A and B are shown apart, each in its own frame.
Chain A
Amino acid sequence: MLRLLRETYENARLALLALAGNRMRAGLAVIGIGIGVATLIAIFGIIQGLNRSFASQLDSLGSSSLTVSRRPWVTGPTNWWKFRSRPPITFHEFEEVKRQSVLASAVAPIVSDAFDIKFADRSVANVQCTGTTEDFSVARASYPRLGRFISDSDNQLRQRVVVLGEDVSRALFDTGEAALGKAVLINRSHYRVIGVLERKGSLLGNSLDLVAIVPFETFRNDFGAKRSVSIAVASADPKALDALEDEVMSIMRRARSLGPDQEDSFTINRQEQFTKLYGQLTGTLYAVAFGVGLITLLVGGIGIMNIMLVSVRERTREIGVRRAIGARRRAIITQFLLESVAVSFVGGAAGTLVGLFIAHLVGDLTPLAAAVTGGGVALGLGFSMLVGMVFGIWPAWTAAHLDPVEALRYE
């Protein structure tokens, strides 16, 4: 054991000497591995950044809430027709859920449509206008940055008041402060601005700030009452979302008098569906990007194998001497393996730095929040050393199995 350690130490020293002795060639191999690792690290960082920003965007939907709707948020192309024939969700069903649920902390009805909103000579097209109640704020994590949210009395009195999303307020008033108290025109009716929501960002490319929230009853009054309602339900205990789903499902089934053998005629949506969709959309892309990184690393590995084979050939006599002096085959193998691992490690370290730099650059120059974690760095270094190991085996084996007599005579 001690002998093995000492040999390994000696071999590590030799490996570094050999690297120092062949700077040019080692440098080229280092570049090969470095590019591969840099690619991997950068891709890894960008993916992590994407995932993280997606996760935080999803949270803005209300991570501990669910929504009862006529249709699933995410549908496959094959069965969308099935949902068209479903009956709309009614205000009465919302009331049932609100009345019966014990696990919910907030229940809000939702009706919505896209309208243009105007103020003076400015106009914003296609704003997602939502009619709802006070509970929506909790259920969808929608909090006012300025002013206040709509209240239950606004709803009962059918007040024409509106809470604007950040994008709408900025487009019409430049600043949120300027918006408060002004009357904006939504589809022929004037609404007084009572609040501006916190910024939410975007989800799958759609802005979550291009919204306007008005009282539920006002909405139905102004824009029509025969609309399908969705029901946003927030869980009192964020961890008990499954229980809440079961409870809401049974309330809805009872409200609709569905028999045990009948399918649900509604869907309970959760934000996980977006996570799944996101995974589907990006999974293949990631696999391809990762594959490219791995192939680059593979090419780097072949480069290492090449320089190691040359190194073995150049040092044939040295190998002969070492064998004659009493080096076992294993000692020769360790010597050359360590050398190739050292080359690839140096390459990996350089590549990691470059990869971090690229990820950082991407983070600065694009909206992608690229983030490289310790895991990413470990991955890069680990992969590079693995490559050195794998591609070093053959040259090392060749070196160890040279005939000592031939090796000593090699010119």
Chain B
Amino acid sequence: MRDAISRAGAPLIRLVNIERTYRVGTEEVHALRRVSVSVHHGEWVAIVGQSGSGKSTLMNVVGCLDTPTAGNYFLDGRDVAQMNDDELADTRNQKIGFVFQTFQLLARDTALANVELPLVYRGIGASERKRRAREALEKVGLAARMHHKPNELSGGQRQRVAIARALVGEPLLLLADEPTGNLDSTTGEEIVRLFADLHRMGHTIVLVTHAPHLAALCPRAVRLCDGQVVADGPGPRVAELRDEATTSMPLLATPIVASAGVGL
């Protein structure tokens, strides 16, 4: 991680005028319009917005699961548009750790086996895999339950397993999509605290959420509305904004960076 921080000069994520258009029947839906955002190593950024604001699409693009219709996305200095399917898979495997709202654990496997999975696709041997998976589970405080299957774990524990799985490959970026969405508020807070710890340890985290109180906990937040970036600044301040108000209100004090499309 130290290494990652030392490279903080160049952004880990650089999105330049990203567009993502879907075709639904004869109509074109603009999920993302000219989105430009950069995230540096070690940052903890929330992406907030209501449902339909484009934040899931943005997450998919950042996670190399979806490719933008136009614009450039540089991840760790590499142009994602130039990658073929295998390279995208390898990039997801090595540089990104996903945490999903619905945990997305494999039901038939134990917690340990679930956490091992990214390393399987990296071709790491079984004993090394187990050792690292155990470490990752210790990191999220679940070492005691590593031989349990997902249905023997509580929601919060499942999400911890998912986070361990995201961490095990030591990715450059943790990408969490509504990680507390399926949890009660107490458990959700625990998970958020875990993210805060990970942030302190130096992990770069992008957290997608519709909940303002979560965004408020992040040092930085980016607000999306109708596929556009309408605000970018300290978490607590961006969290306060309301969508309708944002587009017309004067830009907040630095370091808010609005995308070029705003105000048109």
Contact of A6 with B123 in the complex, beta carbons under 8 Å: yes
Q: How far is the CB of B88 from chain A (nearest CB, A)?
A: 9
In chain B, positions 35-87 with a C-beta closer than 8 Å to chain A are 60, 63, 65-66, 85-86
Q: How far is the CB of A116 from chain B (nearest CB, A)?
A: 79
In chain A, positions 1-58 with a C-beta closer than 8 Å to chain B are 2-4, 6-7, 10, 17-18, 21
Contact residues in B for A330 (Cβ distance below 8 Å): 86
User: Can you name the residue of chain A whose Cβ is closest to the Cβ of B171?
Assistant: A326
Contact of A325 with B108 in the complex, beta carbons under 8 Å: no
Contact residues in B for A7 (Cβ distance below 8 Å): 120-121, 123
Contact of A325 with B123 in the complex, beta carbons under 8 Å: no
Q: How far is the CB of B219 from chain A (nearest CB, A)?
A: 26
Given A17-B108, A329-B89, the answer on whether A324 and B98 have CB atoms closer than 8 Å is yes
Contact of B122 with A326 in the complex, beta carbons under 8 Å: yes
Q: A74 at the A/B interface (Cβ < 8 Å)?
A: no
A17 to B106 CA separation, bound complex (whole angstroms)? 12
Counting chain A CB atoms within 10 Å of each CB, which of B60, B93, B108, B120 scores highest?
Answer: B120
Contact of A317 with B104 in the complex, beta carbons under 8 Å: yes
In chain A, positions 316-374 with a C-beta closer than 8 Å to chain B are 317-318, 320-331
What are 19 inter-chain pairs, A to B, with CB distance below 8 A?
A: A4-B123, A6-B126, A10-B120, A18-B108, A321-B106, A323-B65, A324-B104, A325-B98, A325-B165, A326-B89, A326-B92, A326-B94, A326-B122, A328-B89, A328-B121, A329-B86, A330-B86, A331-B121, A405-B66
Contact of B104 with A405 in the complex, beta carbons under 8 Å: no
Contact residues in B for A322 (Cβ distance below 8 Å): 117, 121
Contact residues in B for A317 (Cβ distance below 8 Å): 104
Q: A147 at the A/B interface (Cβ < 8 Å)?
A: no
Contact of A329 with B85 in the complex, beta carbons under 8 Å: yes
Contact of A408 with B66 in the complex, beta carbons under 8 Å: no
Q: How far is the CB of B208 from chain A (nearest CB, A)?
A: 13
Q: How far is the CB of B226 from chain A (nearest CB, A)?
A: 20
Contact of A21 with B65 in the complex, beta carbons under 8 Å: no
In chain B, positions 90-148 with a C-beta closer than 8 Å to chain A are 90-94, 98, 100, 104-106, 108, 117-118, 120-126
Q: A404 at the A/B interface (Cβ < 8 Å)?
A: yes
What 16 new A-B contacts, CB under 8 Å, besides A328-B121, A329-B86, A405-B66? A6-B120, A6-B123, A6-B125, A7-B120, A7-B121, A323-B92, A324-B98, A325-B92, A325-B93, A325-B121, A326-B121, A328-B85, A328-B86, A328-B90, A330-B86, A408-B100
Q: How far is the CB of A95 from chain B (nearest CB, A)?
A: 85
User: Can you name the residue of chain B whose Cβ is closest to the Cβ of A400?
Assistant: B85
Contact of B123 with A324 in the complex, beta carbons under 8 Å: no
Contact of A326 with B118 in the complex, beta carbons under 8 Å: yes
A7 to B89 CA separation, bound complex (whole angstroms)? 14
Q: How far is the CB of A112 from chain B (nearest CB, A)?
A: 77
Cβ 8 A contact of B92, one of A3, A4, A6, A324 = A324
A329 to B122 CA separation, bound complex (whole angstroms)? 14
Contact of A2 with B123 in the complex, beta carbons under 8 Å: yes
Q: How far is the CB of B84 from chain A (nearest CB, A)?
A: 10
A contacts, CB < 8 Å to B: 2-4, 6-7, 10, 17-18, 21, 317-318, 320-331, 404-405, 408
The list of the 10 closest CB pairs from A to B, nearest first, reads A326-B93, A3-B123, A328-B89, A326-B121, A321-B104, A326-B92, A404-B65, A325-B118, A327-B121, A10-B120
Counting chain A CB atoms within 10 Å of each CB, which of B89, B98, B100, B165 scores highest?
Answer: B89
Cβ 8 A contact of B104, one of A6, A21, A328, A408 = A408
Contact residues in A for B100 (Cβ distance below 8 Å): 408
Which label, helix, strand, loop or mixed, suits the secondary structure of the A interface?
A: helix
User: Can you name the residue of chain B whose Cβ is closest to the Cβ of A401?
Assistant: B85
User: Can you name the residue of chain B whose Cβ is closest to the Cβ of A10?
Assistant: B120
A404 to B60 CA separation, bound complex (whole angstroms)? 9
Contact residues in B for A321 (Cβ distance below 8 Å): 104-106
A351 to B123 CA separation, bound complex (whole angstroms)? 36
Contact of B89 with A21 in the complex, beta carbons under 8 Å: no
Given A318-B106, A405-B60, A405-B65, the answer on whether A323 and B120 have CB atoms closer than 8 Å is no
Contact residues in B for A323 (Cβ distance below 8 Å): 65, 89, 92
Counting chain A CB atoms within 10 Å of each CB, which of B92, B104, B121 scores highest?
Answer: B121
Q: How far is the CB of A320 from chain B (nearest CB, A)?
A: 8
Contact residues in A for B66 (Cβ distance below 8 Å): 405
Contact residues in B for A327 (Cβ distance below 8 Å): 89, 93, 121
Q: How far is the CB of B147 from chain A (nearest CB, A)?
A: 16
A396 to B89 CA separation, bound complex (whole angstroms)? 17
User: Can you name the residue of chain B whose Cβ is closest to the Cβ of A21?
Assistant: B108
Contact residues in B for A325 (Cβ distance below 8 Å): 92-93, 98, 117-118, 121, 165
User: Can you name the residue of chain B whose Cβ is closest to the Cβ of A327?
Assistant: B121
A21 to B149 CA separation, bound complex (whole angstroms)? 14
User: Can you name the residue of chain A whose Cβ is closest to the Cβ of B92?
Assistant: A326
A329 to B98 CA separation, bound complex (whole angstroms)? 18
User: Can you name the residue of chain A whose Cβ is closest to the Cβ of B63?
Assistant: A324
Contact residues in B for A405 (Cβ distance below 8 Å): 60, 65-66
Contact residues in A for B121 (Cβ distance below 8 Å): 7, 322, 325-328, 331
A18 to B86 CA separation, bound complex (whole angstroms)? 25
A329 to B92 CA separation, bound complex (whole angstroms)? 13
User: Can you name the residue of chain A whose Cβ is closest to the Cβ of B100?
Assistant: A408
Q: How far is the CB of A7 from chain B (nearest CB, A)?
A: 7
Contact residues in A for B65 (Cβ distance below 8 Å): 323-324, 404-405, 408
Q: How far is the CB of B22 from chain A (nearest CB, A)?
A: 11
Counting chain A CB atoms within 10 Å of each CB, which of B65, B94, B122, B165 scores highest?
Answer: B65
Counting chain B CB atoms within 10 Å of each CB, which of A4, A17, A326 scores highest?
Answer: A326
User: Can you name the residue of chain B whose Cβ is closest to the Cβ of A409?
Assistant: B56
